Amino acid sequence: MIILSIDTDWAPEAATRAVLEKVRALGLKVTVFFSTPSPTPYWPELEPGCHPDLSRRRTAAEDARPLTGMATLEHDLEVDRAEGQILAAYRRAFPEARALRTHRFYWHSDLSRNLAGHGFWHDSSMILPYHPGLKGFQVGRLKRWPVWASDHLHLARSFPLDRLAMPHLNDPGLKIFCFHVAYLYLNAVSLNDFNMVKQRLADEDWRPPAGRGPGVWNLFELLAEKVYRRSGGCWLSDLPPEMIVKNKELDDEDSVPGI
């Protein structure tokens, strides 16, 4: 099962709007993880999610003792509170969102409880690239869905952009693709395109040059066509129960301390 998702990161509104309008025209279900409020109104096929950068949280212990303040219960509680403040702000900004992906796949063992406590039931903050037979799993109330591939990794591996040639793509299992507004807007053809990304995205008059060959947007279109023919797309919150690994020891969140 192929799932298409997009991280907006902190791309300028003009670039985000341009990409989302093109995605909307494809007419399939897609999950978009927003770092900032969308410049484009939601449409019926869009599932809004949140994309916070929790690694930027600050605690008093870290500021006072940057080297020795990490391995204490006090520090853990401060981290929990600092991340909770960020999650609460995203909950207020995106009241309808139930899915979340942290920036750079940030994670730690206590985060599942904090996410669920703020009303996020679906998380996609891990990446297991090109593994066959992937499924999600449940920790307490939170369902975790691993990313299978990303545009950055696709470019780093120099996989083709004009055809779908990825290992295990047609094998059984969950295949969540993580795309980024910046790569889609630039129709990036290599990682070198990111050298000038800030300048290009900041210039609202700049447009990706035509005729330089297939790029990340073309890859997205190929995947979208494949998904549309098969199912019309699927949101993270729509994933069926059979895509969850069954583990009776973890079925009851109260049976495992600390989740």
- Tokens read off for 173: 């299992």
| Top-confidence range, 111-125, 198-212, 244-258 | 111-125
**pLDDT tens column, 210-220:** 656 799 999 99
Where on the phi/psi map is residue 133: left (φ > 0), alpha (ψ -120 to 50), or beta?
A: left
Report the pLDDT averaged over residues 144-169.
96
The pLDDT of residue 213: 75
Name the percent of the chain lying above pLDDT 90.
Answer: 70
How far is CA 54 from its chain centroid? 14
Residue 21's alpha-carbon distances to 29, 42, 213, 238, in angstroms, are: 13, 10, 22, 23
- 87-91, 121-125, 132-136, 184-188 — which is least confidently predicted? 184-188
- The mean pLDDT of 235-248, rounded to a whole number, is 88
Lowest mean pLDDT, pick from 114-118, 163-167, 177-181, 189-193: 189-193
Q: How many CB atoms lie within 10 A of CB 33?
A: 27
Q: Do residues 24 and 6 touch, judged by C-beta distance below 8 A?
A: no
Model confidence at 197: pLDDT above 80: no
First to last CA, the chain: 28
pTM of the model: 0.88
- DSSP letters along 6-64, please? EE-TT--HHHHHHHHHHHHHH-SBEEEEESS--SS---TTEEEEE---GGG---HHHHH
57: closest CA among 95, 98, 103? 103
Q: Between 55 and 138, where is the model more confident?
A: 138
Q: How far apart are CA 24 and CA 233, in angstroms?
A: 12
Phi/psi for 45 (5° steps) reads -85, 0
Residue range 33-46: average pLDDT?
A: 96
Average pLDDT value for the chain: 87
Helices (H) and strands (E) in the chain, counts: 9, 9
Confidence at residue 72, expressed as pLDDT on a 0 to 100 scale: 67
pLDDT of residue 258: 45
Return the amino acid letter for 258: G
Q: Which domains does the chain have, with CATH numbers?
A: 2-255 (3.20.20.370)
Section 37-66 average pLDDT = 82
- Please tell me the distance from the alpha carbon of residue 76 to that of residue 169, in angstroms, as a whole number: 40
pLDDT tens by residue, 113-153: 999 999 999 999 999 999 999 999 998 899 999 999 999 99
Structural tokens at position 175 = 């295949």
Minimal CA–CA distance to 190: which of 208, 216, 170? 216
From 61-70, 108-117, 154-163, 209-218, the region with the lowest mean pLDDT: 61-70
